[in-house]
Amino acid sequence: MKVLTARFLALPIAALIGLAATALAMSGDIGLGGGASTPLCPAGHLPHKGGDSIEAKPCPTISSQTPNSRIRARPSSLSGTSPLADLPPCGGGARQGRGGCLAARDDLSELDLQRVETVTGAATDFSKAEQFEAMSGGATTTIAPINERVFSQFSANLPFEDEQNFKLGKALFEKLWVSAPSSTQASDGLGPLYNARACESCHPRDGRGRPPAGADATSTIFRLARPARDEAERRMIAAHQVANLPDPVYGAQLQDSAVPGLAAEGRLEVTYQDESVPLYGGETVYLRKPHYGVTDLGYGPMDPTTILSPRVAPPMIGLGLIEMIHESDILAKADPNDRDGDGISGRAALVRDRDRGALALGRFGWKAQNPTIRQQAADAFAADIGISTPAFDNGHGDCTEAQGACRRLPTGVQARLGPVEAPDPVLGLVTFYSANLAVPARRKASFPETLNGKQLFYEAGCPACHVPKYVTRRDAPHKELAFQLIWPYSDFLLHDMGEGLADGQDVGVASGREWRTPPLWGLGLTKTVSGHTFLLHDGRARNFTEAILWHGGEAEKARNAFAAMSRDDRNALLSFLESL
């Protein structure tokens, strides 16, 4: 017992909190931290045997409130004021969102809804960390040692019987596919045109990709799209039948690799031009503005109207939790017409769910172009590796009608396994793996420098888009993801980020200037996991400072606030980001 006690005392405080939360989750008696059966205490307290699991205090009492008075205005404007306070109340069971009234969550009781709204309210006390702030993924948070594999851990509260599926999914995620026909029929079907042979190639150690470095562009892709040419094509886009229209020869994505005997489509090329940005105090930062092109085209010229959009692979952590954020909580933050006048609009991306054939809220991808992890995975299988799935059943991947030699090559479809190369067991296991990659615990969340930076983050208006926290659905199909207090720091909406970051390519409802707000959790571990700190959709930013200074459009006021800070204040804000 003394040895065990010594080992526990040697753990950092975040790890100790994580162990407590995980233990409670496994017991099924936890509310926010891990189960769907116990009511939630407000203000971040987790009920456990009649009291708070950390401070052993009873849950605070919430006084009776009317449905309308329970709505707490969230300080989401750049000035830090509460724009919802002056809006008229909503009737019935509706609640006030930034863009107007909308339906309340249908998975919570009235009491739970009040408590969730309390615990997800904006921080006002920056003298100490918020309750359970270090547990970015709730009870799913991993407290594994901080090393290059910290993004590859499964959810801390994953049931033992599900660990096998996670490990099978991991094996498929790392699997190297080969061209057909092959003696290993379970592995053939690669390409014929492709960017990578494995998911792991684009997401090394489940982390962030990097921009092209010489001939190596494995974790960067070029999406290709051209404008609609006629009314029929415009109707297809408006009806969400397609997100955009591919190049007639090269398809929707430039594949820089091909199976033996077939020419690759081309090679992406990037050059940079320095742009100086002055900061308060006399410091100058040099941003690198990228210029993109394609060389060694293998199938003739591209359509002159085709627009190229580079995309770097994002990290894989926390995806299952993002999928379990209630749609109403995301829509509540949308304000497409800037009704509250704070300069931040935020638009929901409505996309086609290919499994259900219905419109759904887009959450995944740089343009929020996919509604589910399953569809995001199927999209990557098809475009990046050339593997067909039930969602994208073309065995020749992105080969177009103009690429006849590509379409004549054999596929990896096995009649005994069905009509696609990666049938549901494969796609399902990769989806399960992706949904259960845990978010690591925060570091130094309670340090004075971090708390000072957090306050500056709020004062600059960053939480208007990088919304800190949510409580996931109580009715989540996988209970380990249900009713978790999570801290992704994103609203998962589309925002105009200005001309500097624009790629000019429309994707569904997203314009060429709009990007989905990326979650910030795990940001401070980028260097540890990926070996670099390249950020933004194309990896142009080499560090946090550059990433902030590239913000424009709706985020320009926040960017200017950062540039006007003293060096000490800027460093404090960067320390806060490093702690995420």
Inside any domain, residue 389: yes
pLDDT of 290 reads 97
- Reference 565, options 449, 457, 465; nearest CA is 457
pLDDT of 181 reads 86
Inside any domain, residue 479: no
Mean pLDDT to the nearest integer, 338-365: 95
Q: Judging by beta carbons within 10 Å of its beta carbon (0-12, 13-18, 19+), is residue 2 exposed, middle or buried?
A: exposed
Token pair of 483 as six digits: 């009713």
pLDDT digits (tens, 9 = 90+) for 299-309: 999 999 999 99
Q: In whole angstroms, what is the distance from residue 520 CA to residue 18 CA?
A: 20
Inside any domain, residue 5: no
Inside any domain, residue 375: yes
**Which residues share a beta bridge with 212?**
none
| Count of domains observed in the chain | 1
Pick the residue with more confidence: 324 or 98? Answer: 324
Is residue 72 predicted with pLDDT exceeding 70?
no
Is residue 223 predicted with pLDDT exceeding 80?
yes
pLDDT digits (tens, 9 = 90+) for 166-209: 999 999 999 999 999 877 777 889 999 999 999 999 999 999 99
Task: Indicate left, alpha or beta for 56 from its phi (over 0: left) and psi (-120 to 50: alpha).
Answer: left
Inside any domain, residue 469: no
Token pair of 422 as six digits: 């990666």
The DSSP element (H or E) to which 253 belongs, if any, is strand 253-254
Inside any domain, residue 230: yes
Backbone torsions φ then ψ of 351, nearest 5 degrees: -135, 165
Token pair of 298 as six digits: 């293998």
- Give the list of residues 6+ apart from residue 148 with CB closer than 8 angstroms, or none: 205, 528, 529, 531
Q: Which domain holds residue 244?
A: 182-316+344-421
Backbone torsions φ then ψ of 565, nearest 5 degrees: -75, 155
Pick the residue with more confidence: 195 or 72? Answer: 195
pLDDT of 402 reads 97
Contact call for residues 83 and 73 (beta carbons, < 8 A): yes
Query: Band of the pLDDT at 213, cuts 50, 70, 90?
Result: confident
Lowest mean pLDDT among 21-25, 267-271, 346-350, 517-521: 21-25
The DSSP element (H or E) to which 310 belongs, if any, is strand 307-312
Query: Band of the pLDDT at 90, cuts 50, 70, 90?
Result: low
Inside any domain, residue 303: yes
**Which residues share a beta bridge with 239?**
none
pLDDT digits (tens, 9 = 90+) for 506-563: 999 999 999 999 999 999 999 999 999 999 999 999 999 999 999 999 999 999 999 9
Q: In whole angstroms, what is the distance from residue 206 CA to residue 227 CA?
A: 34
Q: In whole angstroms, what is the distance from residue 136 CA to residue 270 CA?
A: 35
pLDDT of 77 reads 30
CB atoms within 10 A of CB 37: 12
Contact call for residues 514 and 495 (beta carbons, < 8 A): yes
Inside any domain, residue 158: no
pLDDT of 102 reads 67
Token pair of 148 as six digits: 């290059």
Query: Band of the pLDDT at 217, cuts 50, 70, 90?
Result: confident
H helices within 120-240, ranges in order? 163-174, 199-202, 231-238
State the pTM of this model.
0.85
Q: In whole angstroms, what is the distance from residue 546 CA to residue 499 CA?
A: 16
Contact call for residues 520 and 580 (beta carbons, < 8 A): yes
Q: In whole angstroms, what is the distance from residue 323 CA to residue 356 CA?
A: 16
Token pair of 540 as six digits: 């142009």
